[in-house]
Chains A and B, each alone.
Chain A
Amino acid sequence: MAEQMTEKVLGGSFVIADPDYRTIVTPDELTEEQRMIAETTADFVEGDVLPVDEELEKLDYELTVKLMKQAGELGLLGADVPEAYDGLGLDKVSSTLISERLAKASSFALSIGAHVGIGTLPIVYFGSAEQKKKYLPSLATGAKIAAYCLTEPSSGSDALGAKATARLSEDGKHYVLNGTKQFITNAGFADVFIVYAKVDGKEFSTFIVERTMEGVSVGPEEKKMGIKGSSTRPLILEDVKVPVENLLWEVGKGHLIAFNILNIGRFKLAVGCLGGAKEAIQLSSRYANERTQFGKPIASFPLIGAKLAEMNVRTYVLESMVYRTAGLMDTGLGGIDHDSPEAGKQSAKAIAEYALECSINKVFGSETLDFVADEGVQIHGGYGFIQEYKIERIYRDSRINRIFEGTNEINRLLIPGTLIKRAMKGELPLMQKAQALQAELLQLVPGQTFEGTLEEETHLLAMAKKIFLMAGGAAVQKFQLKLEQEQEVLSHLADMMIQIYALESALLRTKKRIDKLGEEKAGLAVAMTRVFAQEAFEKIESLARETLAAVDTGDMLRTQLSVLKKLTRRTPVNTVELRRQIAARVIQSETYVC
């Protein structure tokens, strides 16, 4: 894979660029090693985790910790840790494969995810050489387990409103930490806590706190709706003396650490959702073949088939998006020199580059899994409501994904917000493109006919980008700096960007598949891309209409709407028939297929 990742892609540039399908990373061209890594992960889950699933779900710390260590021995916790610190320093595609295959382990996957992701990564990217030497080897093997402590009872989305404080001791040897952190994953058994607190109540900073330090305690376990086998407790800090060596990076850099780690966390969350969605498809397609009503397997009813098809389509799109993003992250993070004193700065910059894509993954991933899980329950009928069937748990467990690692609302606000900021800083020629478009839009768009495979979808994508630029441009012009307060408009712009990135990821991947496998064997991917293109385009069209109506009035609005009409002119595709074809494949293979 590595040879393709030559040119650096600017984060957010997808809304104005027209990337070559050969430049994106897809899950269809894994190396033998990557396949083996995926296999080992799946075997571990199947062989060691699932047999004790019931105990894990009752929240058994000891068992969780034991399995974490086992995962550590296999190397599953060290993918993102550099080799110099006893990790494996793998590429992001490999670590993505691991997270995806772990998803089937439900709550346990979340415990691992919090440990290797938001728990360990702050030290990987922002730790000093001494801190890395001290903590990373034991975190990579699972000898120690980490947690990430940002949220407080009175500050969730408003993370910077944290009240926890740090005060430098008089002898300058310690920071004395006070405060309470809320909803901390792994708190029940973690040894190392990454804690955010304000130095002197002002400067947001990050500390490595150990469980054994005096004054560290945890509150009771929360009783949760889902992911019941994961530990979620408050962390209480009372005059905890944290050695100054345990300050991560520098005083006042806490927000950079917190948000950049969340960026990766958001991406990894989407990966977990992908794994969950695949499992839900497997369970539901098998069930649909087994269950008979009216003398026939329910899979043979078109309405059930349509559900399976749609679940498979969205999962294909999510998969395309996730691996494309993993490839992007590799280009940025692969080049970091972890031994350099500048490593923290480099990391922050590299991760922030694709912040917007990470948020898109998070929102699309969590909402895809919610959709797939919901339809999965529906396919199971009453049995889907009964705990004996795993789909019931997938449904409950799915819900948290739209809430943590930044709610989907917060992420939606960030998506266009980040794009506009980048444009303002001159990092992306967004405004120039929007202006050039204005002139272009006044011209007549000639009627189009399409012949080649995916030609129409390629056209729809190009139009979608124009529509987004038009609507976004109008909103920026109208509200200017006050746009931040127009959350509904921002959220619509976010949704357009999400659909564009999703459609483009699927479209480019499918083109690559055609290149590799030929049109016939890529037929299913083509059908799925065509269905999704219709759905995405419908959404974009209606989002744009609503946005324009919220921005302009009178003649201006009428002009804009007539332009929109021009850009959205198309003949509908028979998606009903396409979904039937897709359904047939899912039902035949009883698993996610592409």
Chain B
Amino acid sequence: MNVYVVLKQTFDTEEKVVLQDGRVSEEGVKFVINPYDEYAVEEAIRIKEAAGGTVTVVSVGPERTAEALRTALAMGADEAVLIADDRIPADEYALSRVLAAFFADQAYDVVLGGNFSVDNGAGQVAVRLAELLGIPHVSSVTKLELSGGEAAVQRDAEGDLETLAVRLPALFTAQQGLNEPRYPSLPGIMKAKKKPFRQLTLDDLSVTPEQIAARTARAELFLPAPRQAGRVLEGELPAQAAQLVQLLRTQSNVL
């Protein structure tokens, strides 16, 4: 079974986001494997442990991403590929194109990714990749069982549970609950540096910057307003309800 994991390196969820010169400052920030991608890595390793094969972890990102990939190797992945190129825009369309170019000549049975990344939260790259590769995908999976070229999957459908059967090769994105990721063991960490690690650029993939021109542009970047103290409405219940509707209309503009 050849399992691939597409992963992203993100801020540790405990980090405070600081804006500096119109950008999110990366100074002194601790980076981790995107938590949802970590479930994907764990699942891939479990598939390998049960059925044999290899686990390859792939990421598109800046050089620092190497550390996240090596963490995945330390957890038990076999090979890592980092596609690092300043010409790749931070845009889901572009990223999925780059990945698709990489996957074009790979032999994969299962591709795993995270449900979404905790930084941008778009949740698009993996499913776009499936579309470009022309393989089925199931997002937000909480259970994955493979046998005889098929996958029995459970997915979290906005709180409901959906059960599906999918033919391989296919792509799945991991949701919390799929598994409990292991920590890289110390022997694993020591072995990681000896495992194959390839670094590629757009040229290696024969992709031109024009082909992956961003489809989105960031208009503005700002921090959410600091949270206000909560307010407890008073009075009779119907009056409270009316007041609430009023506030949702006028103050928070959600209605």
Instruction: Tell me if B74 counts as interface (CB < 8 A to partner A).
Output: yes
Residues of A within 8 A of B67 (CB): 32, 35
B186 near A79 with CB under 8 A, answer yes
Residues of B within 8 A of A43 (CB): 183
B70 near A88 with CB under 8 A, answer no
Give the contact-size bracket for chain A: 10 to 19
Give the complex CA separation of A36 and B70 in angstroms: 9
Instruction: Tell me if A47 counts as interface (CB < 8 A to partner B).
Output: yes
A73 near B185 with CB under 8 A, answer yes
Instruction: Tell me if A318 counts as interface (CB < 8 A to partner B).
Output: no
Instruction: Tell me if A123 counts as interface (CB < 8 A to partner B).
Output: no
Instruction: Tell me if A300 counts as interface (CB < 8 A to partner B).
Output: no
Candidates A35, A74, A79, A90; contact of B183 at CB < 8 Å: A74
Instruction: Tell me if A37 counts as interface (CB < 8 A to partner B).
Output: yes
Specify which of B70, B185, B189, B190 lies most central, judged by the most chain A CB atoms within 10 Å of its CB: B189
B70 near A44 with CB under 8 A, answer no
B189 near A37 with CB under 8 A, answer yes
Which residues 179-226 of B sit at the A interface, judged by CB distance below 8 A? 183-190, 192-193
Instruction: Tell me if B71 counts as interface (CB < 8 A to partner A).
Output: yes
A88 near B183 with CB under 8 A, answer no
Candidates A32, A40, A47; contact of B186 at CB < 8 Å: A40
Instruction: Tell me if A78 counts as interface (CB < 8 A to partner B).
Output: yes
Residues of B within 8 A of A78 (CB): 186
Instruction: Tell me if A219 counts as interface (CB < 8 A to partner B).
Output: no
Instruction: Tell me if A76 counts as interface (CB < 8 A to partner B).
Output: yes
Instruction: Tell me if A226 counts as interface (CB < 8 A to partner B).
Output: no
Specify which of A40, A78, A88, A90 lies most central, judged by the most chain B CB atoms within 10 Å of its CB: A40
Specify which of B183, B186, B189 lies most central, judged by the most chain A CB atoms within 10 Å of its CB: B186
Give the complex CA separation of A376 and B71 in angstroms: 35
Residues of A within 8 A of B189 (CB): 33, 36-37, 40, 75
Interface of B, secondary structure class, is: helix
Nearest-CB distance from A513 to chain B (Å)? 13
Give the complex CA separation of A300 and B74 in angstroms: 44
* Chain A: CB-nearest residue to B184: A40
Which residues 14-62 of A sit at the B interface, judged by CB distance below 8 A? 32-33, 35-37, 39-40, 43-44, 47
Candidates B70, B187, B192, B193; contact of A75 at CB < 8 Å: B187
Residues of B within 8 A of A75 (CB): 185-189
Give the complex CA separation of A76 and B187 in angstroms: 10
Which residues 63-86 of A sit at the B interface, judged by CB distance below 8 A? 73-76, 78-79
What does the 1/0 interface line of B59-91 toward A look like (CB < 8 Å)?
000000001001100100000000000000000
Nearest-CB distance from B88 to chain A (Å)? 23
* Chain A: CB-nearest residue to B16: A589
Residues of A within 8 A of B185 (CB): 40, 73-75
Give the complex CA separation of A496 and B189 in angstroms: 41
A33 near B187 with CB under 8 A, answer no
Give the complex CA separation of A362 and B78 in angstroms: 43
Candidates B186, B188, B190, B192; contact of A76 at CB < 8 Å: B186
Nearest-CB distance from A89 to chain B (Å)? 10
A36 near B71 with CB under 8 A, answer yes
Give the complex CA separation of A43 and B186 in angstroms: 12
Residues of A within 8 A of B71 (CB): 36, 39
Give the complex CA separation of A40 and B75 in angstroms: 10
Which residues 160-195 of B sit at the A interface, judged by CB distance below 8 A? 183-190, 192-193
* Chain A: CB-nearest residue to B12: A39
Give the complex CA separation of A234 and B193 in angstroms: 46
Nearest-CB distance from A281 to chain B (Å)? 16
B183 near A32 with CB under 8 A, answer no
What does the 1/0 interface line of A456-496 toward B look like (CB < 8 Å)?
00000000000000000000000000000000000000000
Residues of B within 8 A of A37 (CB): 186, 189
Give the complex CA separation of A431 and B95 in angstroms: 69
Nearest-CB distance from B115 to chain A (Å)? 21
Candidates B184, B190, B193; contact of A88 at CB < 8 Å: B190
Give the complex CA separation of A37 and B186 in angstroms: 6
* Chain A: CB-nearest residue to B182: A74
Give the complex CA separation of A79 and B187 in angstroms: 10
B190 near A32 with CB under 8 A, answer no
B187 near A36 with CB under 8 A, answer no
Contact A88:B74 (CB < 8 A) given known A32-B67, A33-B193 = no
* Chain B: CB-nearest residue to A42: B183
* Chain A: CB-nearest residue to B189: A36
B183 near A33 with CB under 8 A, answer no
Give the complex CA separation of A39 and B33 in angstroms: 12
Give the complex CA separation of A36 and B74 in angstroms: 9
Between A and B, 6 residue pairs with Cβ closer than 8 Å are A32-B70, A33-B190, A74-B185, A75-B185, A75-B186, A88-B187
- Residue numbers of A with Cβ under 8 A of B are 32-33, 35-37, 39-40, 43-44, 47, 73-76, 78-79, 88, 90
Instruction: Beyond the given A33-B190, A79-B186, A90-B186, please list 10 additional residue pairs across the A-B interface where CB-CB is below 8 A.
Output: A32-B67, A33-B189, A37-B186, A39-B71, A39-B183, A40-B189, A43-B183, A75-B188, A75-B189, A88-B186
3 closest pairs, A vs B, by CB?
A: A75-B186, A40-B183, A43-B183
